[in-house]
């Protein structure tokens, strides 16, 4: 395991039912909180495969949807439980962009998520005493929230980009966020990468942690590479299993192909020629 890596939590075998205990709306986003009585606390940057406990399908005969991969927004020990692993409260950030996410956004208190996880490898601690700088776009802010919780005051104010004011409400999920919006309705009028370029221009010793849409990640990767700034990128790719069996999330790197679900989803920018991966998205 690379230096500074956080030991990834190992997922128990099989799906677990996790009842929904809270549901909050942040503009265009929904935050679901569930209670997992059979799994460990995830490491920041890990993800889960989610399905709804009922009505998870579409078309004639309600053909089942594939599970959807979601990074953990937040995790904390839950209430006392007779289960030997204890209870863990997990939060996920979801935007309604299709039939699967629509069904997840419909869930109400007491209904169940079926979860598999935690999966993958997450963020590593900053190298060479560098200061962590978090950069996120859209629903990609999710793993940055749990990482900010873990880093504490050591992290710089995060830089977050959104399409518009409705989505910018998601910035409430992180502390001290500086915001950019495409339409200028909140904060800086433009891309979050413009805020990043200004920050990197100060010449401070930082390590960048980024998650968001592929074009944003590629811009972050390229800028950091140009300046010799280390960057860790939380990538997205189509995932069906989460265990590396289906090879649906294979991405090219400078040392060969990797499966994001087991070798990522967080990769060093220096491993990549491009952070844009075909077929990205939930």
* Contact in structure between 202 and 129 (CB atoms under 8 Å): no
Could you tell me the two tokens for 112?
Answer: 């169940």
Q: Does position 79 have pLDDT exceeding 80, yes or no?
A: no
Q: Give the C-alpha separation, 184 to 102, whole Å.
A: 27
What is the rounded radius of gyration, in angstroms, for the C-alpha atoms of the chain? Answer: 18
Domain covering 131-271 assigned CATH 3.30.499.10 in the classification: no
Give, to the nearest 10 degrees, the angle between helix 214-227 and helix 192-200: 10
At 156-205, the pLDDT tens digits run 999 999 999 999 999 999 999 999 999 999 999 999 999 999 999 998 99
> From the centroid of its chain, how far is CA 58?
26
Give per-residue pLDDT as tens, 32-73. 999 999 899 999 999 999 999 999 988 777 778 899 999 999
Mean pLDDT of 215-234: 96
Residue 245: per-residue pLDDT:
84
The H-assigned helical ranges of 181-271 are 192-200, 214-227, 260-263
Cross-strand pairs, 133: 208
Q: What is the pLDDT of residues 88-98, one digit of tens each?
A: 999 999 999 99
CA distances from 23 to 181, 227, 279 (A): 25, 42, 29
In Å, how far from its chain's centre is CA 256?
24
Bridge pairing between strands 178-181 and 188-189: parallel
Percent of the chain with pLDDT over 90: 76
pTM for the structure as a whole: 0.91
Domain limits, the chain: 16-118, 131-271
Measured between its terminal Cα atoms, the distance across the chain in Å is: 28
CATH architecture for segment(s) 16-118: Beta Barrel (2.40)
Q: Say how far apart CA 235 and CA 253 lie, in whole Å.
A: 12
| pLDDT score recorded for residue 5 | 52
Compute CA distances 213 → 62, 192, 235, whole Å: 30, 11, 9
Pick from 189, 239, 237: nearest CA to 213: 237
Give dist(CA 205, CA 193) in Å, integer: 18
Q: Within 10 A of 30 (CB to CB), how many other CB atoms are there?
A: 19
Using an 8 Å Cβ cutoff, are 8 and 118 in contact?
yes
- Give dist(CA 216, CA 213) in Å, integer: 5
Q: Would you place residue 235 in the very low, low, confident or very high pLDDT band (cuts 50, 70, 90)?
A: very high
Q: Looking at the predicted structure, is the pLDDT value of residue 1 above 80?
A: no
Confidence band, pLDDT 50/70/90 cuts, at residue 86: low
User: Is there a common fold for 16-118 and 131-271?
Assistant: no
Do 132 and 156 touch, CB atoms closer than 8 A?
yes
């Amino acid at each position: 395991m690379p230096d500074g890596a956080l030991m990834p939590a190992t997922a128990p075998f099989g799906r677990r039912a996790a009842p929904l205990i809270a549901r909050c709306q942040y503009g265009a986003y929904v935050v679901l909180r569930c209670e997992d009585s059979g799994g460990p606390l995830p490491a920041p940057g890990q993800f889960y495969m989610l399905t709804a406990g009922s009505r998870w399908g579409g078309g004639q005969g309600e053909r089942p949807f594939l599970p959807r991969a979601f990074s953990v927004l937040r995790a904390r020990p839950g209430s006392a439980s007779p289960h030997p692993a204890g209870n863990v409260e997990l939060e996920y950030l979801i935007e309604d962009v299709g039939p699967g996410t629509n069904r997840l956004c419909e869930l109400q208190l007491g209904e169940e998520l079926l979860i598999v996880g935690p999966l993958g490898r997450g963020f590593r601690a900053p190298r060479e005493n560098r200061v962590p700088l978090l950069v996120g776009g859209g629903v990609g802010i999710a793993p940055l929230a749990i990482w900010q919780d873990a880093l504490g005051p050591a992290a710089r104010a995060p830089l977050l980009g959104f399409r518009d004011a409705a989505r910018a409400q998601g910035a409430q999920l992180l502390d001290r966020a500086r915001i950019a919006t495409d339409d200028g309705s909140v904060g800086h009028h433009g891309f979050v990468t413009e805020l990043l370029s200004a920050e990197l221009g100060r010449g401070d010793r930082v390590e960048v942690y980024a998650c968001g849409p592929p074009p944003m990640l590629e811009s972050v990767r390229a800028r950091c590479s140009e300046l010799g700034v280390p960057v860790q990128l939380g990538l997205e790719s189509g995932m069906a299993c989460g265990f590396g069996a289906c090879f649906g999330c294979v991405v090219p790197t400078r040392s060969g192909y990797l499966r994001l679900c087991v070798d990522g989803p967080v990769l060093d920018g220096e491993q990549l020629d491009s952070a844009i991966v075909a077929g990205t998205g939930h």
